[in-house]
Every structure is written in structure tokens, then in C-alpha cells.
Amino acid sequence: MGDEARLREAGLRVTAARLAIMQTVREGDHLDVDAVHRGVRDRVGQVSLQAVYDSLHALQRGGLLRRIEPAGSPARYETRVGDNHHHLVCRRCGKVTDVDCAVGHAPCLTPASDAGYLVDEADVIYWGVCPDCRSEDAR
């Protein structure tokens, strides 16, 4: 299904900026808002940062984008949604890498106590040092 159909299915208006955001995020690697804004401007010309923020929020609410917020890092966006995957984050360079669900079915991890919540998602971030930064250490 194409982006236009996905937008319509989510009840969102199809605009050039939203299509450019979807394409930019899909082709990027866990992009922050500034990188998305640059990618959208390259594709459609002038677009305000506020319009990008508004569209990112709408696309997230519509289930078309996922927002992750590693501690100490700006929010980042990806198009991989609905599978409850997790992330590896490099402590040095900030690179983010997808990692499939730890085990079992979503939400992958069962809390010791759910405190009455109906848990439907687990958001796990593994922290470490990426292979590129580790190879720099070896030099």
C-alpha cells in the first residue's frame, strides 16, 4: 500500500508535505525533527518547521510513524510501526539501531506487577557502544 492510501486509511489529508515526511523518514535512519525538516525542504521546497512538527504528530497519532525518545537525545521518528520492536543506542555517537522483540508476543516483556494497567506495549532501549565507535577505540 502506498503512502497516499496509508494517509487516507488513517483519516489524514494527503498533502505534499506529509508524503515528503513519510518518504524522508522511511529513507532515513531514526531521524530527528531537524533532519526530517531538511529532507522535506529538499523534496517540496519551503515548509515551516512548525508544519513539520504538526504533521509528524498527526502521522504518529495516525499510527504511520513511531516516535522514540532516548534519554538525552532529541525525539526521533521511524516508519517501522506496529511490531513492538526495540532499539540499541550508542552512548557515544547516538546512532540508533532497531532490534527485534526480545522474546514472545507483544508486549515482549511482562512487568512484575501491572498495577491494574492493561499493558499493550513495551518500549525498551538498550544502551552501549556501536561497532563504529568500538573500532575507533581499537585504533
Predicted TM-score (pTM) of this structure: 0.82
90 carries a ligand binding annotation: yes
Range from 43-57, 63-77, 96-110, 112-126 carrying the lowest mean pLDDT: 96-110
| Cell 511490531 -> residue | 83
User: Within 10 Å of residue 30's Cβ, how many Cβ atoms?
Assistant: 22
Q: Which domains does the chain have, with CATH numbers?
A: 3-68 (1.10.10.10), 84-137 (3.30.1490)
Nearest-angstrom CA–CA distance, 92 and 128: 8
Identify the H or E element spanning 89.
strand 86-90
What pLDDT is attached to residue 123? 79
| Cell 515482549 -> residue | 108
Nearest-angstrom CA–CA distance, 88 and 77: 14
93 carries a ligand binding annotation: yes
Whole-number Cα distances in Å, 89 to 110, 135, 138: 22, 16, 20
133 carries a ligand binding annotation: yes
* Interval 58-108: pLDDT, tens: 999 999 999 999 888 899 999 999 887 889 999 999 899 998 876 656 556
Range from 6-10, 48-52, 111-115 carrying the lowest mean pLDDT: 111-115
| Beta pairing partners, 88 | 97, 126
Average pLDDT on 10-33 reads 95
pLDDT of residue 122 exceeding 80, the answer is no
pLDDT of residue 117 exceeding 70, the answer is yes
130 carries a ligand binding annotation: yes
